[in-house]
Amino acid sequence: MGQKSGVKTGIFVVILLVAFLPPFIKYQQINYKRGALDRQLKSIKEEIKALEEEKRRLETDIIYVEKRARDRTGVAKKGEIILKSYPSKR
């Protein structure tokens, strides 16, 4: 009778594994994807915050706007010297 009980227990364990392992694996995969999406969302929120700050400065800070425009166009004020740096070739 001890052997039959061991076989029944073994069969029961196999049935439990077959029944619960696939959903558990799926849960783990979903949880991993959620973590990745949470990290991506955090990164996007940080980018939005930086862009909103940039927008605010462009709308309210004329000195910042002038500096950005001069940096992008390469135009200097009278008496100013523009220094450009280039990446070194190795």
Count, residues in the chain: 90
pLDDT band at 79; cut points 50, 70, 90: confident
pLDDT at 2: 59
Query: Of the given ranges (20-29, 45-54, 65-74, 76-85), which has the lowest mean pLDDT?
Result: 76-85
Is residue 30 in some structural domain? yes
Q: ∠ CA 76-82-85 to the nearest 5 degrees?
A: 145
Q: In this predicted model, which residue has the larger pLDDT, 47 or 70?
A: 47
- Assigned token pair, 28: 């783990």
- Mean pLDDT (the chain) is 88
Give the total number of structural domains in the chain: 1
- Residue 40 domain-assigned? yes
> Higher confidence at residue 46 or residue 76?
46
Task: Please check the confidence at residue 1 and state whether its pLDDT lies above 70.
Answer: no
- Is 33 within a domain? yes
* 41 is a domain residue: yes
How far apart CA 39 and CA 63 sit, in angstroms, is: 35
Does residue 79 lie in a domain region? no
This model's pTM is above 0.85? no
Residue 57, in any domain of the structure: yes
